[in-house]
Amino acid sequence: MKILITGVSKGLGRVLAETYMAGGHQVIGCGRDPESILDLRFGCDESHRFDIVDVAQANKVDVWFETVDASHGIPDLIINNAAIMNQPRNLWEVPTKEFHQLIDVNVKGVFNVIRAFGPAMVKRGTGVIVNLSSGWGRTTSPQVAPYCASKFAVEGLSQALAAELPDPLACVPLNPGIIATAMLQQAWGDEARQFPSPAEWVTIAAPFILQLGRKDNGQPVTVPGP
């Protein structure tokens, strides 16, 4: 399977990319950290592709689509994983710049990738789009209002897109569960360490994501716990 993953520089995107490559799948990924992207690029063969792309910048995503289409073709599965977290604080204390950046990555980034790659998937007549949401895209907590807003938006965007896609295409909003990523540590501090690591999570999540399809179209899905 040809799998495109955004946000592969670290965290869930990184472990998904490495797991799928090890499983024989062709992986196309992007991230903003040059060192991490080069590390992935030099650690795999030419059947895979990793690029430095900021999904918040629509013009760069458009160029990325053109080059990926020319070199590797259209993916069978898109995993919109790229996201950032706000520094925990009351909403009225969140700097405007920080709020805008979070929305640009977490919401506009998902839209930019779908707008670039989606038409080709629809034209081909097959494909699955998985947009990573969060438990904070279905419930809320204090001091993470910007992140909650972004993930509620991903849920709504995904469900609306699912209603637009022709059979057998699908769009699925996926809550990955609670994982001890750097992002969770930013929100919860040392408390985050009690949850599964990305390496533990991916053993369940990677095969689970691969079986998502039309039967799950528009359904809020959650990765099963360990």
Residues annotated as catalytic (active site), given as ranges? 147
Handedness of CA 108, 102, 160, 218 (dihedral sign): positive
